[in-house]
Amino acid sequence: MTTPAHVRIFDTTLRDGEQSPGCSMSPQQKAVMARALAELGVDIIETGFPASSQSDREAAALIARDLRETTLCVLSRCLAGDIEASAKALEAAAKPRLHVFISTSPLHREHKLRMSKEEVLEATARHVTHARRLVDDVEFSTEDGTRTEEDFLAEVIGVAIAAGASTINVPDTLGYTTPAEIRALFQRLIATVPGARNVVFSAHCHNDLGMAVANSLAAIEGGARQVECTINGIGERAGNCAMEELAMAMKVRGAYFDADTRIDTRRLVPTSQLLSRLVGMPVQRNKAIVGANAFAHESGIHQHGMLRHRGTYEIMHPEDVGWPASQMVLGRHSGRAAVAHRLESLGHALQDEALDRVFADFKALCETQRVVGDDDLHRLVRGNDDDDGYRLAAMTVSDRGRRASALIELSGPDGAHVAESALGDGPVDALFAALAAATGVDLKLESYHVHSVGIGNDARGEANLSVRCEGAEYQGTGTSKDIIEASALAWLDIANRVLRTRRPQRLSAFA
């Protein structure tokens, strides 16, 4: 039995990932993220592009002083000034790598560089040699490599190897190639370029056509032993190869790829969530591996299968990537078996007519509420004899002046009215602050989305919130002609559920 090939993970979240619009990080935030990446087990961290900004230089130096076991890399154009700035930023690094690149495709040579083939070859030899004099570990990239004439691509790579590059990266900069093409390209380059067997070939794939992970895996099949990727797949335009997807594909299909990484996959979800908090970019719920729905099941057929054997609908254990467990999400598509199982786990062993009644009430509730939680189930078992919580009676929101203000009035569970006002950085911030003051519920907002439901005169605004409160995660939905009112209703939807969990649960009459 052969030992699986080790594929180096080159993480460029802090460089290419940060170039994603709206994802800039301060040097301190980069340092926090870099420590998380080191703990995750990445082999190389690309910390920035020192010649581009003072912030990148500070981040590279800060991380270099902090991390001593992980190879730290910075990016440089084939320009003497860039290379000098990069070498200076790496002075404190225990394991420095200098990453130089030049465009090689016809489009880039003509319109970006305005250089001939001969000039590109000469620049490659001169600048890789310069970088190699300053740093022992040099990586060379052929920007837009997959759209470069293959004979010229091979010639440039041969020059870079001869000049001292020990890693050769062939980027699919525009996300243009296909798995079959990139697999064959790497096979031919490694087989024919002089010195190719003595260096590590790397793939850097973008996701413009949604094939970044597939192309990276194909490159591995073609002989690549390093993949450049990012957490959550962030990066220019549609992003980069998502590290979490690549790592788990190799782990789950290890026998097929005969390759693996050193990634501690149990840290994938925490690292994903850290990045999301740092840059303020939420992860889509159906994102593979790290999305909130990746191990969530609502369909009655799927839930029934999961209750019999988890392998029926899961190819990975959620614990292996950092989730605490699979989720049986109770909603409109859930069946009787899943509802009965969850009720029993909550201490309500209902049978026959009692279960029929609760399941009928559950289905009715699903028409107005997308997800039914444990507190909702307790209430259904008790026969809905609880009050309905706080209701919105009146609301005034103003965004004039330096800060927004909100005045809200709620009808309380006991029939009394309560009014509160608050200031905020915007109308929604002020609204949520006033609601928190009125209900005594402090919700930590994780994500907030608004969109239109329906068309024309029937269109309504829907607000969706994801929050954390008292150690639990909640989702709430509100719908109204007015999007601010929809936001208030979504907030109250969650607050009322939180308040119900605080009350002592009464024993079920059917238990």
Residue 508 token pair: 């079920």
Is 198 annotated to bind ligand? no
User: Within the chain, how many helices (H) and strands (E) appear?
Assistant: 17, 18
Q: How far is CA 412 from the centre of its chain?
A: 39
User: Does the annotation list 309 as a binding residue?
Assistant: no
* Alpha-carbon dihedral 242, 34, 252, 257, rounded to 10 degrees: 80
387 among the known binding-site residues? Answer: no
State the DSSP string of 317-347: -GGGTT-SS-EE--STT--HHHHHHHHHHTT
Question: 495, 50, 20, 471: which is closest to 242 by C-alpha?
Answer: 20
204 labelled ligand-binding: yes
Neighbours of 26 (CB within 10 A): 12
Both tokens assigned to 468 = 């954390």
Of 268, 312, 305, nearest in space to 287 by CA: 268
What per-residue string of b and e applies to 298-323 under the rule 16 or more CB within 10 Å gives b? bbbebbbbbbeeeeebbeeebeebbb
Neighbours of 464 (CB within 10 A): 17
> Which among 184, 205, 187 has a CA at the least distance from the CA of 196?
187
Q: Which residues are annotated as a binding site?
A: 16, 204, 206, 240
Q: Which residues are annotated as a binding site for Mn(2+)?
A: 16, 204, 206, 240
